[in-house]
Amino acid sequence: MRILVTGGAGFIGAHVVECLTEAGHEVRVLDLALVESVDAVQGDVRDPAVVERALVGMDAVCHQAAKVGLGLDLNDAPDYVGCNDLGTAVLLAAMARAGIGCLVLASSMVVYGEGLGHCAEHGEVVPGPRPVEALMAGCFEPPCPTCGQAVTPGRICEEAAPDPRNVYAATKLAQEHLAGAWARATGGVATALRYHNVYGPRMPLDTPYAGVAAIFRSMLRAGLPPRVYEDGGQRRDFVHVRDVATANLAALDRSGHGLRAYNVATGVPHTVGEMATALSEAHAGPPPITTAEYRLGDVRHITASAARMETELGWQAKIEFAHGMAEFAEI
Protein backbone atom coordinates (compact mmCIF):
# COMPACT_ATOMS: atom_id res chain seq x y z
CA MET A 1 0.00 0.00 0.00
CA ARG A 2 1.18 3.57 -0.71
CA ILE A 3 0.64 5.71 2.37
CA LEU A 4 1.01 9.43 3.03
CA VAL A 5 2.00 10.25 6.63
CA THR A 6 1.30 13.88 7.46
CA GLY A 7 3.53 15.14 10.24
CA GLY A 8 5.87 12.27 9.43
CA ALA A 9 8.92 14.13 10.75
CA GLY A 10 7.39 14.59 14.18
CA PHE A 11 7.60 12.55 17.37
CA ILE A 12 4.85 10.03 16.65
CA GLY A 13 4.85 10.46 12.89
CA ALA A 14 8.49 9.41 12.50
CA HIS A 15 7.80 6.18 14.37
CA VAL A 16 4.73 5.55 12.20
CA VAL A 17 6.85 6.02 9.08
CA GLU A 18 9.41 3.51 10.33
CA CYS A 19 6.76 0.96 11.29
CA LEU A 20 4.93 1.19 7.97
CA THR A 21 8.18 0.96 6.01
CA GLU A 22 9.29 -2.10 7.97
CA ALA A 23 5.92 -3.70 7.18
CA GLY A 24 6.60 -3.32 3.45
CA HIS A 25 4.46 -0.28 2.64
CA GLU A 26 5.59 2.59 0.41
CA VAL A 27 5.58 5.73 2.52
CA ARG A 28 5.62 9.42 1.67
CA VAL A 29 5.93 12.17 4.30
CA LEU A 30 4.25 15.58 4.30
CA ASP A 31 5.78 17.85 6.92
CA LEU A 32 6.90 21.41 7.51
CA ALA A 33 10.35 20.05 8.29
CA LEU A 34 12.67 18.78 5.60
CA VAL A 35 12.94 14.98 5.56
CA GLU A 36 15.77 13.64 3.42
CA SER A 37 15.77 9.90 4.16
CA VAL A 38 12.33 9.10 2.66
CA ASP A 39 10.05 10.24 -0.15
CA ALA A 40 8.85 13.56 1.18
CA VAL A 41 6.98 16.74 0.36
CA GLN A 42 7.93 19.73 2.48
CA GLY A 43 5.06 22.08 3.19
CA ASP A 44 2.01 22.98 5.24
CA VAL A 45 -1.02 20.70 5.43
CA ARG A 46 -3.15 23.86 5.24
CA ASP A 47 -1.87 24.57 1.71
CA PRO A 48 -4.17 22.85 -0.86
CA ALA A 49 -1.53 22.83 -3.60
CA VAL A 50 1.04 21.17 -1.32
CA VAL A 51 -1.47 18.59 -0.12
CA GLU A 52 -2.62 17.72 -3.64
CA ARG A 53 0.99 17.18 -4.69
CA ALA A 54 1.64 14.97 -1.66
CA LEU A 55 -1.43 12.80 -2.37
CA VAL A 56 -0.49 11.88 -5.94
CA GLY A 57 -0.35 8.09 -6.23
CA MET A 58 -1.32 7.44 -2.60
CA ASP A 59 -3.80 4.77 -1.41
CA ALA A 60 -4.25 5.89 2.21
CA VAL A 61 -3.35 8.63 4.68
CA CYS A 62 -2.12 8.49 8.28
CA HIS A 63 -2.84 12.00 9.50
CA GLN A 64 -0.47 12.82 12.36
CA ALA A 65 0.14 16.52 11.65
CA ALA A 66 -1.16 18.69 14.48
CA LYS A 67 -0.32 21.26 17.10
CA VAL A 68 -0.26 19.30 20.35
CA GLY A 69 -0.31 19.96 24.10
CA LEU A 70 -2.57 21.92 26.38
CA GLY A 71 -1.20 25.26 25.31
CA LEU A 72 -0.43 28.32 27.41
CA ASP A 73 -3.67 30.31 27.24
CA LEU A 74 -6.48 31.24 24.86
CA ASN A 75 -4.04 33.23 22.73
CA ASP A 76 -3.01 29.82 21.37
CA ALA A 77 -6.53 29.09 20.12
CA PRO A 78 -6.12 30.41 16.54
CA ASP A 79 -2.97 28.35 16.02
CA TYR A 80 -4.60 25.19 17.35
CA VAL A 81 -7.73 25.61 15.24
CA GLY A 82 -5.74 26.54 12.16
CA CYS A 83 -3.21 23.73 12.38
CA ASN A 84 -5.57 20.99 13.52
CA ASP A 85 -8.99 21.73 12.07
CA LEU A 86 -8.30 23.81 8.96
CA GLY A 87 -5.41 21.49 8.12
CA THR A 88 -7.65 18.45 8.43
CA ALA A 89 -10.37 20.05 6.31
CA VAL A 90 -7.88 20.88 3.54
CA LEU A 91 -6.53 17.32 3.63
CA LEU A 92 -9.97 15.70 3.52
CA ALA A 93 -11.14 17.89 0.64
CA ALA A 94 -8.03 16.94 -1.34
CA MET A 95 -8.51 13.26 -0.52
CA ALA A 96 -12.08 13.46 -1.83
CA ARG A 97 -10.90 15.01 -5.08
CA ALA A 98 -8.16 12.39 -5.43
CA GLY A 99 -10.50 9.48 -4.70
CA ILE A 100 -8.48 8.26 -1.70
CA GLY A 101 -10.80 6.44 0.68
CA CYS A 102 -8.72 5.34 3.69
CA LEU A 103 -7.85 7.65 6.58
CA VAL A 104 -6.20 6.91 9.92
CA LEU A 105 -6.56 9.98 12.14
CA ALA A 106 -4.41 10.74 15.17
CA SER A 107 -7.00 11.70 17.76
CA SER A 108 -6.60 11.87 21.52
CA MET A 109 -8.03 10.79 24.83
CA VAL A 110 -8.56 14.49 25.61
CA VAL A 111 -11.86 14.34 23.71
CA TYR A 112 -13.38 12.56 26.74
CA GLY A 113 -12.67 15.26 29.31
CA GLU A 114 -12.70 13.73 32.78
CA GLY A 115 -12.61 9.95 32.73
CA LEU A 116 -15.27 7.55 33.89
CA GLY A 117 -16.04 7.31 37.59
CA HIS A 118 -18.17 5.09 39.81
CA CYS A 119 -20.39 6.62 42.45
CA ALA A 120 -21.63 4.36 45.26
CA GLU A 121 -25.12 5.83 44.89
CA HIS A 122 -25.43 6.68 41.19
CA GLY A 123 -23.24 4.07 39.48
CA GLU A 124 -21.15 5.04 36.46
CA VAL A 125 -20.81 8.81 36.09
CA VAL A 126 -18.66 11.28 34.18
CA PRO A 127 -17.61 14.02 36.61
CA GLY A 128 -17.91 17.61 35.50
CA PRO A 129 -15.16 20.23 35.66
CA ARG A 130 -13.58 20.60 39.09
CA PRO A 131 -14.50 23.84 40.88
CA VAL A 132 -11.70 26.38 41.16
CA GLU A 133 -12.43 26.78 44.86
CA ALA A 134 -11.84 23.06 45.43
CA LEU A 135 -8.57 23.10 43.49
CA MET A 136 -7.34 26.11 45.45
CA ALA A 137 -8.14 24.26 48.66
CA GLY A 138 -6.17 21.21 47.53
CA CYS A 139 -9.27 19.08 46.91
CA PHE A 140 -8.33 17.48 43.61
CA GLU A 141 -10.66 14.51 43.29
CA PRO A 142 -13.68 15.18 41.04
CA PRO A 143 -17.05 14.61 42.71
CA CYS A 144 -20.15 12.84 41.42
CA PRO A 145 -22.04 15.41 39.33
CA THR A 146 -25.33 14.40 40.97
CA CYS A 147 -24.62 14.04 44.68
CA GLY A 148 -21.17 15.54 45.10
CA GLN A 149 -19.72 12.45 46.75
CA ALA A 150 -16.32 11.00 45.90
CA VAL A 151 -16.13 8.64 42.93
CA THR A 152 -13.83 5.72 42.15
CA PRO A 153 -11.93 6.17 38.85
CA GLY A 154 -12.71 3.71 36.05
CA ARG A 155 -11.64 2.98 32.48
CA ILE A 156 -13.46 4.84 29.75
CA CYS A 157 -14.77 3.19 26.56
CA GLU A 158 -15.21 4.70 23.14
CA GLU A 159 -18.99 4.96 23.57
CA ALA A 160 -18.58 7.61 26.27
CA ALA A 161 -19.90 11.02 25.32
CA PRO A 162 -17.12 13.48 24.44
CA ASP A 163 -16.54 16.38 26.79
CA PRO A 164 -13.48 18.41 25.68
CA ARG A 165 -12.18 20.70 28.42
CA ASN A 166 -9.68 22.91 26.57
CA VAL A 167 -8.97 24.32 23.11
CA TYR A 168 -6.68 21.48 22.07
CA ALA A 169 -9.29 18.92 23.09
CA ALA A 170 -11.98 20.78 21.15
CA THR A 171 -9.84 20.75 18.00
CA LYS A 172 -9.20 17.00 18.28
CA LEU A 173 -12.92 16.31 18.55
CA ALA A 174 -13.56 18.62 15.60
CA GLN A 175 -11.04 16.59 13.58
CA GLU A 176 -13.08 13.47 14.30
CA HIS A 177 -16.30 15.18 13.23
CA LEU A 178 -14.67 16.36 10.01
CA ALA A 179 -13.40 12.86 9.31
CA GLY A 180 -16.87 11.46 9.92
CA ALA A 181 -18.43 13.95 7.51
CA TRP A 182 -15.81 13.06 4.90
CA ALA A 183 -16.46 9.33 5.32
CA ARG A 184 -20.22 9.75 4.96
CA ALA A 185 -19.87 11.94 1.88
CA THR A 186 -17.33 9.75 0.10
CA GLY A 187 -18.00 6.23 1.40
CA GLY A 188 -14.51 6.24 2.87
CA VAL A 189 -13.13 4.50 5.93
CA ALA A 190 -11.98 6.82 8.74
CA THR A 191 -10.36 5.34 11.82
CA ALA A 192 -9.75 7.72 14.74
CA LEU A 193 -7.05 6.52 17.11
CA ARG A 194 -7.51 8.15 20.49
CA TYR A 195 -3.96 8.15 21.79
CA HIS A 196 -3.54 8.16 25.53
CA ASN A 197 -0.35 9.50 27.15
CA VAL A 198 2.33 8.75 24.57
CA TYR A 199 6.01 8.72 25.52
CA GLY A 200 9.26 7.35 24.15
CA PRO A 201 12.25 8.15 21.92
CA ARG A 202 12.26 11.52 20.08
CA MET A 203 9.69 13.03 22.42
CA PRO A 204 9.96 16.85 22.22
CA LEU A 205 11.83 18.44 25.12
CA ASP A 206 12.09 21.84 26.80
CA THR A 207 8.88 23.32 25.44
CA PRO A 208 5.62 24.25 27.21
CA TYR A 209 3.84 21.99 24.74
CA ALA A 210 5.88 18.89 25.61
CA GLY A 211 4.32 15.92 27.36
CA VAL A 212 4.68 15.55 31.10
CA ALA A 213 7.13 12.64 30.80
CA ALA A 214 9.47 14.77 28.67
CA ILE A 215 9.20 17.71 31.08
CA PHE A 216 10.13 15.48 34.03
CA ARG A 217 13.06 14.00 32.14
CA SER A 218 14.38 17.46 31.31
CA MET A 219 14.22 18.40 34.99
CA LEU A 220 16.16 15.29 35.95
CA ARG A 221 18.82 15.99 33.34
CA ALA A 222 19.26 19.42 34.88
CA GLY A 223 19.74 17.81 38.29
CA LEU A 224 16.33 18.97 39.50
CA PRO A 225 13.50 16.93 41.01
CA PRO A 226 10.41 16.50 38.84
CA ARG A 227 7.73 18.95 39.97
CA VAL A 228 4.42 17.11 40.01
CA TYR A 229 1.20 19.10 39.91
CA GLU A 230 -1.63 18.55 42.38
CA ASP A 231 -0.74 15.63 44.67
CA GLY A 232 0.58 13.28 41.99
CA GLY A 233 -2.48 11.05 42.15
CA GLN A 234 -3.70 11.85 38.63
CA ARG A 235 -4.30 8.56 36.81
CA ARG A 236 -3.20 8.15 33.20
CA ASP A 237 -2.49 5.38 30.71
CA PHE A 238 1.10 5.74 29.48
CA VAL A 239 1.54 4.07 26.09
CA HIS A 240 4.89 3.74 24.31
CA VAL A 241 5.29 5.45 20.94
CA ARG A 242 6.38 2.21 19.25
CA ASP A 243 3.06 0.66 20.30
CA VAL A 244 1.24 3.70 18.91
CA ALA A 245 3.00 3.15 15.58
CA THR A 246 1.84 -0.47 15.39
CA ALA A 247 -1.70 0.71 16.18
CA ASN A 248 -1.57 2.84 13.02
CA LEU A 249 -0.43 -0.19 11.04
CA ALA A 250 -3.33 -2.26 12.39
CA ALA A 251 -5.85 0.51 11.67
CA LEU A 252 -4.98 0.55 7.97
CA ASP A 253 -6.52 -2.92 7.67
CA ARG A 254 -9.91 -1.94 9.11
CA SER A 255 -12.80 -2.84 6.85
CA GLY A 256 -16.24 -1.28 6.81
CA HIS A 257 -17.44 2.26 6.24
CA GLY A 258 -17.66 5.50 8.13
CA LEU A 259 -15.83 6.72 11.21
CA ARG A 260 -14.93 4.47 14.13
CA ALA A 261 -12.87 5.47 17.15
CA TYR A 262 -10.44 3.34 19.14
CA ASN A 263 -8.56 3.89 22.37
CA VAL A 264 -4.84 3.36 21.91
CA ALA A 265 -3.75 2.49 25.42
CA THR A 266 -2.28 -0.27 27.55
CA GLY A 267 -5.37 -0.71 29.70
CA VAL A 268 -3.13 -0.49 32.81
CA PRO A 269 -3.35 2.85 34.66
CA HIS A 270 -0.51 4.56 36.55
CA THR A 271 -0.44 7.83 38.43
CA VAL A 272 1.62 10.80 37.34
CA GLY A 273 3.45 10.48 40.65
CA GLU A 274 4.36 6.87 39.87
CA MET A 275 5.65 7.91 36.48
CA ALA A 276 7.78 10.67 37.99
CA THR A 277 9.18 8.24 40.57
CA ALA A 278 9.98 5.64 37.89
CA LEU A 279 11.90 8.22 35.87
CA SER A 280 13.75 9.54 38.92
CA GLU A 281 14.83 6.06 39.97
CA ALA A 282 15.89 5.04 36.47
CA HIS A 283 17.85 8.28 36.11
CA ALA A 284 19.32 7.99 39.63
CA GLY A 285 18.08 11.51 40.22
CA PRO A 286 16.35 13.36 43.04
CA PRO A 287 12.88 12.12 43.99
CA PRO A 288 9.89 14.06 42.70
CA ILE A 289 8.09 16.69 44.74
CA THR A 290 4.38 17.47 44.63
CA THR A 291 3.51 21.12 44.38
CA ALA A 292 -0.29 21.37 44.74
CA GLU A 293 -0.20 23.56 41.62
CA TYR A 294 -2.92 22.93 39.03
CA ARG A 295 -4.07 23.90 35.56
CA LEU A 296 -7.74 24.54 34.89
CA GLY A 297 -7.67 22.68 31.57
CA ASP A 298 -6.33 19.49 33.15
CA VAL A 299 -8.48 16.54 34.14
CA ARG A 300 -7.85 14.39 37.19
CA HIS A 301 -8.23 10.86 35.85
CA ILE A 302 -8.44 9.54 32.29
CA THR A 303 -7.67 5.88 31.72
CA ALA A 304 -9.00 3.61 29.04
CA SER A 305 -10.32 0.27 28.06
CA ALA A 306 -8.39 -0.97 25.03
CA ALA A 307 -10.76 -3.89 24.45
CA ARG A 308 -12.24 -2.60 21.17
CA MET A 309 -8.82 -2.20 19.61
CA GLU A 310 -7.86 -5.74 20.60
CA THR A 311 -11.16 -7.35 19.59
CA GLU A 312 -11.70 -5.59 16.26
CA LEU A 313 -8.17 -4.84 15.05
CA GLY A 314 -6.13 -7.48 16.86
CA TRP A 315 -3.84 -4.90 18.47
CA GLN A 316 -2.36 -4.88 21.96
CA ALA A 317 0.31 -2.70 23.55
CA LYS A 318 3.48 -4.73 24.06
CA ILE A 319 5.87 -2.44 25.99
CA GLU A 320 5.36 -2.55 29.75
CA PHE A 321 5.43 0.61 31.86
CA ALA A 322 8.55 -0.21 33.90
CA HIS A 323 10.62 -1.20 30.88
CA GLY A 324 9.44 1.73 28.76
CA MET A 325 10.10 4.33 31.46
CA ALA A 326 13.55 2.91 32.25
CA GLU A 327 14.45 3.10 28.56
CA PHE A 328 13.01 6.60 28.22
CA ALA A 329 14.97 7.87 31.20
CA GLU A 330 18.25 6.92 29.57
CA ILE A 331 17.62 8.16 26.03
> What pLDDT is attached to residue 212?
87
pLDDT tens digits, one per residue of 12-51: 999 999 999 999 999 999 999 988 889 999 999 999 999 9
The average pLDDT across 188-215 equals 86
**What confidence tens digit (pLDDT) does each residue in 168-200 have?**
999 999 999 999 999 999 999 999 999 999 999
| Residue with more model confidence, 268 or 70 | 268
For residues 30 and 51, is the Cβ–Cβ distance under 8 A? yes
Contact 126, 314 (CB under 8 A): no
Tens digits of residue pLDDT in 237-293 = 999 999 999 999 999 999 888 999 999 999 999 999 999 999 999 999 999 999 999
Instruction: Give me the pLDDT at residue 208, please.
Output: 55
pLDDT for 319 beyond 60: yes
User: Residue 256 has what pLDDT?
Assistant: 86
190 DSSP 8-state letter: E
> Residue 330 — pLDDT band, cuts 50, 70, 90?
confident
Residue 139 has pLDDT above 60, yes or no: yes
Residue 209, pLDDT > 60, answer no
pLDDT at 165: 85
163, 291, 219, 196: CA torsion to nearest 10: -20
CA gap 198, 241 in Å, rounded = 6
C-alpha distances (whole Å) from 138 to each of 46, 135, 179, 306, 312 are: 42, 5, 40, 32, 42
- Give, to the nearest 10 degrees, the angle between helix 11-22 and helix 241-251: 60
Return the number of other C-beta atoms located less than 10 Å from residue 121's C-beta: 9
Would you say residue 305 has pLDDT above 90? yes
Mean pLDDT value across the chain:
94
The stretch 129-139 carries a mean pLDDT of 92
Question: Measured between alpha carbons, how far is 73 from 68 in angstroms, rounded to an integer?
Answer: 13
Please tell me the distance from the alpha carbon of residue 229 to that of residue 112, in angstroms, as a whole number. Answer: 21
Instruction: Judge whether 173 and 113 are in contact, CB under 8 Å.
Output: no
| Rounded-to-integer distance, Cα 213 and Cα 219, Å | 10
Whole-number percent of the chain with pLDDT over 70:
98
Q: pLDDT tens digits for 97-115? A: 999 999 999 999 999 988 8
**Average confidence (pLDDT) over 51-70:** 94
